[in-house]
Structure formats: C-alpha cells, structure tokens
C-alpha cells in the first residue's frame, strides 16, 4: 500500500475493516471548460468531492475512504485533507476502469469495495448503505446502482439478463449503444460495490475499445458476467442522486437544488426563511428554531445561528457562531467570529475574523471590529474601529472612536476596562491600557495608560475670541449675504 497517503486528522483506517470506499476524483472535467479540477468546483458552499466524502463517512458499516486523485492532485488533496481520508494517485487519466486499477494495491486487502463518482454530490449515505446491503444479500461479484431518470441520454444503459431478474449482462455507454438499445431507460448511476478478489482477478481484461480509447469501469459488468460471476443491479427510486456536474449549467442547477434542500431542512426544524429562493445558505449551516431569516441573507461555511434570532436582509455571515436571541440588522458582514446571546448588531456592522462579542452587546452603524473581545453589554453604536482590543463590560464607545492598533510594523493591543466611557472621536494609540470606570473626553488622542476611575482628556485647549467673527465680516462683507439681504429688502 505504498502509494497510499494518509490525509489528516479525523478519518483513521478502522482496525480490521473489510470495506473500502473509493471515490473517483482524478478527472479534469473537460466539459466544465475550467482551469480548476472538477473535484474542486463548489456547490452548496462545499467542493463536489467533499459532498461525496461526507455521505461516504455517514454509512453505518466501518469503511476506509480513499479518493483517486490526478488532475491538480495536490490542490484536491489539500481541499479535503481535513476529512482525514486517504489518497491514491492516478497520474494519467485513462478512464474510470484505469482509475480503479490505480488503486489496486490500496484495495487489495479489503474483502469488498464501493466505488463512487467524485462528481455526483447528491449521493446520499442512505443509498450507499442500501447498495452495500443489497450487494451482500445478493452475494454478487459486482452490484451497480441504477435508476430511471426522465432523460436517459448520455448515461450508460443497463442490459439485464431478463426483465425480472436482478442480473445484468452489460453496461453500454451512450456512444456504443446498438440501435435497439436506445430505448433502454434504466441507467448506470456510477456507484458500484465489488467483491475485491473477483474485481482484481478480471480487471486486466478491460480494453480501450471505445471512441475515447479509455478503460471503462462499466465494462466490468460484461467482463465479470461473461466469466460466470454474479453481476446485479440495485435499482433506486430517486434518480436525482445521479445528477453530476459535467457542465457549469449542471453545476449551478445542483447548487440551487442543494440550497433549496438546505433551506427546506431548516424550515422543517422550525426556522422561518422568508423568500428562501433569495437566500444563499451553505449545506453545513445550522440554525435554531424560531429564528427568522429575511430575504437576501447569506449564511455561509460552518455558520451556527441559535434560536429566536432575527437576521435581516442583505446580511452575510460566514463561519460565525451566534447565540440565542441575537438580532443582526440589515447589511452586516460578519466573518469568523462568535456572538453571544441577546446581542444587537448593525445595521451596517462589520466583524472581521477573531471577534468575541459578549452577551447583550450592541455594535451599530458602520462599526468595524477586528480580533477584539467585547464583554457583556458593551455599546459601540456608530462609526468606530475596534481592532486588537479588549473592552470590559458595559463600557460605552462613542461615535468615531478609533483604536490605532498598527504602528506601521506591528499590531498592538488596546485594553479598556469595564464601566468606562470613551468620548466620541477619540483615538486610542496602542499599546494602551485604560482602567475600569474611566472617562475619556471627546476628541482625545490618548497615548498614555489611564488608571481606573480617572478622567483623561488629550486635546488642544479651546480658544474663544469674542467679537472676532463679526469684526471680520465688517471688514470683508461676504458677497452672498449682501445679495440675500438686499433681496429680502426689495
């Protein structure tokens, strides 16, 4: 198994596991007309391959998961490394049969393997599970999964031994169909189970005798059946699971389908989504019951939203965790941050990565927060920048307050205690510590630490010269005012 590389953390080969799942993901995806490998294209906010891995991981039987990678192999590996699956490399892509051949050392130790297409993201763990059960019950050398989609054109067709037996004698690809076979409506979904010994014994018989000169895994149906091995079809009702992303149009249609399904899943669990067709919600997103999502909201990545929240229109939330009873008003952009219960955010607030927003905090209009901790009840209502800061409970941040966190070389921390009041338009030059219960006068530039309970004012003293403006006007009468005065007089 020397060509197998372990991916990373979560998925470890099961001790004594008898089943491997091999996901074919080496193809370029020529019909996508993209420079990016097919497996890397995203639907529902996740790569095609990641969807297939997620379904494979959920089956009950312990199974080791392998992906066959080839085109842009390093990038594909990196994109799904977090799942911990193993990889096999198919350096040159010479067909689905050739891809399985590339994995033959890796699979040799398993009694059975399941083969999935890395470009069919709707495949469900339930269907994989049923295929696996059927394969075992039938004692077959090869079990393929079939369905009857409304439009069978383009798919491999199933040739059965007799109409009412499970047995299959061949799968015939579209371009190889004999005249009488165009009428066959039952198609190959591209998911198979094999008894590994039978597969490996006969795999060498695949021949590139087709218009693309490739080795087709589908030809194993005929090869095994002709060799007297049992080949059967497991027929599913849900033909949609076979939908692949072969073109951008198909990819976009799959994305819409997945997002509709995600919105549906959330609504079924008690989330109100008004005009769900306008919202973009990634597959992994979780939302608690009684939360209301307004039109044109985007919830992306691993975002978790608690219950009883309200997310208003045009807000985009990516990889954030929100507690319960949080309101996010219109047009906020929140990324990689946590927001505790009862917080009131926006409109027009921006959280850059690394914010920890406490309970009942209010962050309002045009406030940008980056890598900052705002304790319970902090208020920053308007036009502030809080970067690399820690702000104690119930402190009030006035309009236009700025933490000057960057000296051109390094970032520095600003600490402000609890129960303090930072006057409007103050600049706090970090590194800086301001104690609890302090007042900072409006318009201050604070460069030195402020002890608890102090008042700090750092601004030029006001000079007032009485009569100065009137004297100036008398000397240089402003033209416009003269005109308007004369107009009023006339």
For the annotated catalytic residues, the residue numbers are 382
The rounded distance, in Å, linking the Cα atoms of 343 and 326 is 5
Binding part of the chain for ligand UD1, among 87-95, 176-184, 278-286, 441-449 by CB under 6 A, reads 87-95
**24 touching ligand UD1, by CB under 6 A:** yes
CB 420 to ligand UD1: min, Å: 58
Distance between CA 231 and CA 160 in Å, rounded? 10
Enter the tokens of residue 243.
């939908």
Tell me the closest approach of the beta carbon of residue 42 to Ca ion, in angstroms. 16
Q: Which residues fall within 8 angstroms of residue 94, CB to CB, at 6 or more apart?
A: 208, 214, 215
- Measured distance CA(324)–CA(307) in Å, rounded: 5
Q: Nearer to ligand UD1 by C-beta: 7 or 149? A: 149
In the bound state, the residue with its beta carbon closest to Ca ion is 244
Binding status of residue 435 toward ligand UD1 by CB under 6 A: no
Please give the Cα distance from 107 to 66 (Å, whole number): 9
Which one of residues 38, 46, 329, 415 is an interface residue with ligand UD1 (CB under 6 A)? 38
User: Interacting stretch for ligand UD1, rule CB under 6 A, among 192-200, 212-220, 270-278, 384-392?
Assistant: 212-220
Q: Does 233 bind ligand UD1 (CB under 6 A)?
A: no
**Using rule CB under 5 A, residue 121 touches Ca ion:** no
Stretch that binds ligand UD1, among 73-81, 113-121, 229-237, 409-417 (CB under 6 A): 113-121
Q: With contacts defined by CB under 6 A, name the span among 20-28, 177-185, 345-353, 426-434 that binds ligand UD1.
A: 20-28
Closest CB to ligand UD1 among 144 and 401? 144
The CA distance from 339 to 354, in Å, is 11
**CA pair distance 55, 65, nearest whole angstrom:** 11
Any contact of residue 190 with ligand UD1 (CB under 6 A)? yes
Smallest distance, Ca ion to C-beta of residue 235, A: 20
The reply to whether 149 sits near ligand UD1 by the rule CB under 6 A is no
Considering the complex, state which of residue 110 and residue 155 has its C-beta at the smaller distance from Ca ion: 155
Sole binder of ligand UD1 in the list 13, 45, 156, 288 (CB under 6 A): 156
Question: In degrees, to the nearest 5, what angle opens at C-alpha 466 toward C-alphas 460 and 468?
Answer: 95
Residue 68 interacts with ligand UD1 (CB under 6 A)? yes
Q: Return the number of other C-beta atoms located less than 10 Å from residue 264's C-beta.
A: 12
- Which two tokens mark 251? 């990819």
Q: How far apart are CA 484 and CA 480, in angstroms?
A: 6
Tell me the per-residue interface mask from 241 to 260 with ligand UD1, x by CB under 6 A, - otherwise: -x-x----------------
Q: Fill in the per-residue mask, 235 to 274: x = in contact with Ca ion (CB under 5 A), - = not in contact.
A: ---------x------------------------------
- Using CB under 6 A, which of the segments 96-104, 259-267, 315-323, 465-473 binds ligand UD1? 96-104
Applying CB under 6 A, the site for ligand UD1 has a residue count of 30
Does 159 interact with ligand UD1 (rule: CB under 6 A)? no
The CA distance from 367 to 223, in Å, is 67
Give whichever of 244 and 417 is closer to Ca ion, judged by the CB atom: 244
Q: Which is nearer to ligand UD1, 208 or 443 (CB)?
A: 208
Contact between 155 and ligand UD1 by CB under 6 A: the answer reads: yes
Terminal-residue alpha carbon distance, the chain: 102
Q: Is 101 in the site for Ca ion (CB under 5 A)?
A: no
> Which of the ranges 25-33, 226-234, 299-307, 463-471 carries the binding residues for ligand UD1, by CB under 6 A?
25-33
Q: What's the CA gap between 217 and 301, in Å, rounded?
A: 35
Of the candidates 57, 41, 78, 77, which has an alpha carbon nearest to the alpha carbon of residue 255? 41
Task: Note whether 64 and 110 are within 8 A (CB).
Answer: yes
Cα 326 to Cα 150: distance, rounded to the nearest angstrom = 45
250 with 155: CB under 8 angstroms? no
In angstroms, give the least distance from the CB of 173 to ligand UD1.
Answer: 6
Strands 421-422 vs 396-397: parallel, antiparallel or unpaired = parallel
Contact with ligand UD1 (CB under 6 A): which of 112, 218, 236, 372? 218
Tell me which of 50, 64, 100, 119 binds Ca ion, using CB under 5 A. Answer: 119
Minimum gap (Å) between residue 212 Cβ and ligand UD1: 9
Q: How many residues bind Ca ion (CB under 5 A)?
A: 2
Q: Which of 119, 284, 344, 368 binds ligand UD1 (CB under 6 A)?
A: 119
Say which entry of ligand UD1, Ca ion, none residue 98 contacts (CB below 5 to 8 A, set by partner kind): ligand UD1
C-alpha dist (Å) from residue 148 to 3, 82, 152, 395, 455: 38, 35, 7, 64, 77
Q: Does 306 bind Ca ion (CB under 5 A)?
A: no
Q: Which residues would be at the binding site for ligand UD1 (CB under 6 A)?
A: 24-27, 38, 68, 90, 93-96, 98-99, 117-120, 155-156, 171, 173, 187-190, 216-218, 242, 244
Q: Which residues would be at the binding site for Ca ion (CB under 5 A)?
A: 119, 244
């Amino acid at each position: 198994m020397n060509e197998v590389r372990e991916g990373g953390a979560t998925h470890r080969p099961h001790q004594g596991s008898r089943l491997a799942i091999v996901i074919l993901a080496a193809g370029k995806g020529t019909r996508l007309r993209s420079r990016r490998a097919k497996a890397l294209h995203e639907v529902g906010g996740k790569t095609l391959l990641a969807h297939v891995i997620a379904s494979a991981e959920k089956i009950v039987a312990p199974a080791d998961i392998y992906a066959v990678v080839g085109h842009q192999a390093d990038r594909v590996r990196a994109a799904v490394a977090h799942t911990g699956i193993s990889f096999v490399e198919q350096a040159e892509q010479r067909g689905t049969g050739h891809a399985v051949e590339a994995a033959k050392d890796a699979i040799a130790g398993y009694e059975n393997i399941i083969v999935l297409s890395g470009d069919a993201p709707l495949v469900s763990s339930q269907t994989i599970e049923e295929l696996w059960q059927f394969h075992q019950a039938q004692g077959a050398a090869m079990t393929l999964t079939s369905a009857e989609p409304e439009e069978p054109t383009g798919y491999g067709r199933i040739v059965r031994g007799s109409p009412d037996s499970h047995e299959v004698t061949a799968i015939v690809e579209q371009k190889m169909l004999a005249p009488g076979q165009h009428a066959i409506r039952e198609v190959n979904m591209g998911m198979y189970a094999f008894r590994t010994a039978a597969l490996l014994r006969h795999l060498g018989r695949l021949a590139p005798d087709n218009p693309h000169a490739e080795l087709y895994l589908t030809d194993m149906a005929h090869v095994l059946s002709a060799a007297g091995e049992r080949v059967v079809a497991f027929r599913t009702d849900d033909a949609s699971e076979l939908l692949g992303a072969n073109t951008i149009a198909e990819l976009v249609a799959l994305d819409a389908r997945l997002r509709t399904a995600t919105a549906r899943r959330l609504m079924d669990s008690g989330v109100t989504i008004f005009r769900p067709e306008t919202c973009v919600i990634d597959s992994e997103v979780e939302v608690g019951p009684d939360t209301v999502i307004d039109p044109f909201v985007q919830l992306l990545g691993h975002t978790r939203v608690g219950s009883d929240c309200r997310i208003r229109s045009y807000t985009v939330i990516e990889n954030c965790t929100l507690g319960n009873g949080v309101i996010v008003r219109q047009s906020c952009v929140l990324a990689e941050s946590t927001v505790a219960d009862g917080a009131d955010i926006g409109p027009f607030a921006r959280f850059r990565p690394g914010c920890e927003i406490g309970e009942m905090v209010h962050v309002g209009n045009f406030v940008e927060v980056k890598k900052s901790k705002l304790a319970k009840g902090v208020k920053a209502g308007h036009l502030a920048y809080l970067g690399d800061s820690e702000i104690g409970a119930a402190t009030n941040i006035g309009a236009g307050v700025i933490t000057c966190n960057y000296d051109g070389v390094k970032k520095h921390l600003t600490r402000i205690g609890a129960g303090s009041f930072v006057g409007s338009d103050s600049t706090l030059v970090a590194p800086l510590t301001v104690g609890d219960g302090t007042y900072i006068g409006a318009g201050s530039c604070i460069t030195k630490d402020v002890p608890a309970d102090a008042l700090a004012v750092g601004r030029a003293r006001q000079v007032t010269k009485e009569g100065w403006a009137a004297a100036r006007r008398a000397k240089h009468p402003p033209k416009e005012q003269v005109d308007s005065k004369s107009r009023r007089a006339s």
